[in-house]
Structure 1
Amino acid sequence: MSPDLTFALRLADAADAITRSRFQALDLVVERKPDRTPVTDADTAVEDAVRALLAEEHPGDAVAGEERGGTVGAGRVWVLDPIDGTKNFLRGVPAWATLIALVDNGSPVVGVVSAPALGRRWWAARGAGAWLSRDGGAAERISVSGVRALDDAYLSTTHLGSWVEYHSRTSYLSLVDACWENRAFGDFWQHCLVAEGAIDLAAEAIVNPWDVAPLQVLVEEAGGRFSDLRGEPRFDGGSVLTSNGHLHDAALGLLQLD
């Protein structure tokens, strides 16, 4: 492993220690942010702990996080989502994760997704493949599926209501109708499942950079394709489509309908 990936995994260990201790805690503190999304004391504690480690060991790197702010500019920037799936976390649903990415001059080069309540951790680095550890076991190299037709494809999204406000629900439903099966695994998990080859497509109408930065390098290193809904291969385009690559253009053609 590269030093940057090794360090990112250490950051994930620190995050997991906090999230495990606060998951289903009876004294969990929950507040509402200005955008009406929830934030818990665990979210802020994780980001603060990760930022402290970064300041100590990589003081020259910038940091952009969901809870404490920051921007992704030139140079090296660590992009953090302390708990992706906070609504699941505060309701006791185990599908949540800490997301950590190193972005170098606008391109994600390291990505770690750690979901301790699911017993899963995914990671990738440019040129080094995509990997999964189950329940702390040995790393397994992962790759996307070989499905080549939409009518054989398994599709996932997140909250269906987001397609009304930020994109066309009709366009998403046209993709649903074209596919074999669909679910709403939501958030990070669906894109990790694409990287594993368990499902073939995942689409979201609205995302922030910290939601998907590590997922770009993970999916691409697994042999898949990552873009926004305009087809641009960027994590900061405000939307996302991940796929096994074979299905990407066909899916984009349906999602871009008015």
Structure 2
Amino acid sequence: MSYQQELNIALLAVQRASLLTKKVFHSHTKGTLSKSDASPVTIGDFGAQALIISALQHAFASDEIVAEEEAKDLRENEGLRTTVWDLVKEVRLRDDAAEEQIGGGVKNADIMMDIIDKGNSKGGAHGRIWALDPIDGTKGFLRGGQYAVCLALMVDGDVKVGVLGCPNLPVDDSAPLDSKVGENATDEEGMGVIFAAVQGQGATSRPLTEGALAKPQKIAMKSVSDISAATFCESVEAGHSSHSDQSQIAQKLGITKPSAKYGSIARGAGDVYLRLPVRKDYQEKIWDHAAGDLIVREAGGEVTDAEGNRLDFSKGRTLAANKGVVAAPEAVHQEVLDAVKSVLRNK
């Protein structure tokens, strides 16, 4: 299958959701609250999830969806519910091109909450299942830094389509990146990129736009002959990845330059991305990695866990069979993996 319809719907849905998060990003009040796991949630999370699931339900009614958020907090908080619904309405009205192609299933606040709760699939190894993270990097979003809208289609546990909306990344694929890029960005600076891939068809990037999708261009990881000259990417959140282990690995490899993650390395602006377990029982969520995994592999990279195994998205809502994530150009992936194993073995 070419998966062109799935790719087009995913691109339009992620673009529209990214525009909503960008609007929230530039507002003074982001409507945060605390979930039971203590991570912040924003009105952007809820609004983006509602828009994307609505589009998927309209085009692929029988597909299942694994998504991060549930509408419980919206049902219990009328003010927050009203704020999210007003944003969803506004973005739909402004985005005629997407509305015509992906439908307007979000007709009122009650339907919006029901749509959000359709992301409750348990995942698994059979059938068509979408994995959605409406805002990956919520804390970065709240601080005014990097975040992504992540969407991927898995068929029988295998990722076939991946899309990442990165509203605060530079449009120029060759732009140098560091950990501060895009911080407190404004609309006037022209930030915003959408990365995409279909299995076996390569990876692309395009500017984030309002209305019709911009023209894509092919992206590829850059060739790395000297690993010490590589750019090292990691999660900025200590709760997501072991920074002490990653520091030791970077030292072993002689890497000193920091950057952003999946999208950056796929376009050649970074080279190595590590996400190492913070505790033995920690399991990564599939919505955080499905899209990025495919995009990096289609751009010429290799993605495995810390033991060298491919990421397995067929085990449910988490990467239960994997520990950690190691993404790098194919030519140096084994060298990076050896350093990872060495550091973790000595713990």
Tell me, yes or no, whether TM beats 0.5: yes
Note the C-alpha offset of 1:51: 1.5
Aligned to 1:106: 157
CA offset digits 1:221-250 (Å, max 9, x no partner): 111101111211115235211111111111
- 1:1-258 paired onto structure 2 within 5 Å: 2-68=4-70, 69-73=120-124, 74-93=126-145, 95-118=146-169, 119-134=192-207, 136=209, 137-159=214-236, 161-162=238-239, 169-170=244-245, 172-185=246-259, 189-206=260-277, 207-234=284-311, 236=319, 237-256=322-341, 257-258=345-346
- Quick one: percent identity of the two aligned structures? 27
Q: 1:227 to 1:148 in 2, by over 3 A?
A: same
User: Which structure is higher in strand share?
Assistant: 1
**Any unmatched runs of 5+ in structure 2?**
71-119, 170-191, 278-283, 314-318
Q: Distance in 2 between matches of 1:168 and 1:27?
A: 30
Q: Write the letter of the residue equivalent to 2:129.
A: V
Name the CA shift for 1:138/1:215 in 2 (closer, same or farther; >3 Å). Answer: same
Q: 1:158·1:184 contact (CA, 8 Å) conserved in 2?
A: no
Q: Secondary structure at the match of 2:12?
A: helix
Paired amino acid for 1:193: S
Q: Deviations over 1:19-72 (max 9, x none)?
A: 122113223210112221111111012112211222222111000011134322
RMSD: 2.1
For 1:114 and 1:254, how far apart are their aligned partners in 2? Answer: 31
The runs of 5 or more residues in structure 1 that have no matched partner are none
Q: Name the amino acid aligned to 1:200.
A: D
Q: Secondary structure at the match of 1:230?
A: coil
The one-character-per-residue Cα deviations of 1:65-95 (angstroms, maximum 9, x if unpaired) are: 11134322111111001011111222222x1
Instruction: Measure, in 2, the Cα distance between the counterparts of 1:151 and 1:42.
Output: 38
1:130 CA displacement: 0.4
Length-normalised TM-score, structure 1:
0.88
Check whether the contact 1:24–1:90 (CA below 8 A) recurs between aligned residues. no
- The separation in 2 between residues aligned to 1:34 and 1:13, in whole angstroms, is 29
Summarize the Cα distance change of 1:252–1:59 in structure 2 as closer, same or farther, 3 Å threshold.
same
